[in-house]
Structure 1
């Protein structure tokens, strides 16, 4: 797994963690269960760089729990994380969004095969704009 991809996911997890911490500080969730959940979340953040493949199931479980336990912030969960961990996380993505990510992966693969640079965020933005243009 490329370091840039992993760094991107870790950055998104850090962002999501800050949202979860704010939710706990606002006392919008039961404190004890939230603290235990945050321990598991932190475990994922620690394990992911050491064992990215082995952490996939834990990541799927954690992200699905975020959406189920905290529906008030489900719209704030970065879509890239749902795609990265895949599995059950894909149930929370509509078909057109999955198609966008499949096209993005195909572009990344093509760039890697041709030893070309690939900027995930830029390509995602370009694909999103072209998808929006085709629906209007």
Structure 2
């Protein structure tokens, strides 16, 4: 069974896939290579719940490819996916954002250690607000 954290990222992958499909339907990309890319994307989606650790490298590769192959939708790639897969994906995130996600991850880990519930969205909003307040 997938953890809520993994389930959340699977939903983000589904959302990103729908954007990629729409891009193909709008005929904004070469059809053949796009179809092959979607196949690899589907492989990641199927493999991630089965073996999250082994899927990390494929996820990193595909997220980087989305940004490089489809720059017109790079701004639509969920930042949470870049953090989740890590590695080369982190090059697409500014330092302030990396700091935010690092703090968020530390809070999540601490909550898990204490068997406390953790709401990724709520904690992210709280951290974002406190980061905004410290800038003013």
State the TM-score, normalizing by the size of structure 1. 0.97
Task: Report if aligned partners of 2:12, 2:81 keep a CA contact under 8 Å in 1.
Answer: yes
* Matches of 1:113 and 1:10, distance apart in 2: 23
Cα deviation for residue 106 of structure 1 reads 1.0
Question: What is the aligned partner in structure 2 of residue 33 from structure 1?
Answer: 33
Shift >2 Å, 4+ stretches: none
Question: What is the aligned partner in structure 2 of residue 20 from structure 1?
Answer: 20
Question: What is the aligned partner in structure 2 of residue 104 from structure 1?
Answer: 104
Question: What is the aligned partner in structure 1 of residue 58 from structure 2?
Answer: 58
Question: What is the aligned partner in structure 1 of residue 4 from structure 2?
Answer: 4
Does the C-alpha gap of structure 1 residues 2 and 105 become closer, same or farther in structure 2, counting only changes over 3 Å? farther
Is structure 2 residue 96 aligned with structure 1 residue 82? no
Q: Deviation digits for residues 23-72 of structure 1, max 9, x if unmatched?
A: 00000001111011001000100110111100000000000000000000
Q: Please tell me the root mean square deviation across aligned C-alpha atoms, in Å.
A: 1.2
Aligned residues: 136
Does the C-alpha gap of structure 1 residues 21 and 2 become closer, same or farther in structure 2, counting only changes over 3 Å? closer
Unpaired segments of 5 or more residues in structure 2? none
State the TM-score, normalizing by the size of structure 2. 0.97
Question: What is the aligned partner in structure 2 of residue 117 from structure 1?
Answer: 117
Question: What is the aligned partner in structure 2 of residue 46 from structure 1?
Answer: 46
Cα deviation for residue 134 of structure 1 reads 1.1
Unpaired segments of 5 or more residues in structure 1? none
* Matches of 2:109 and 2:39, distance apart in 1: 35
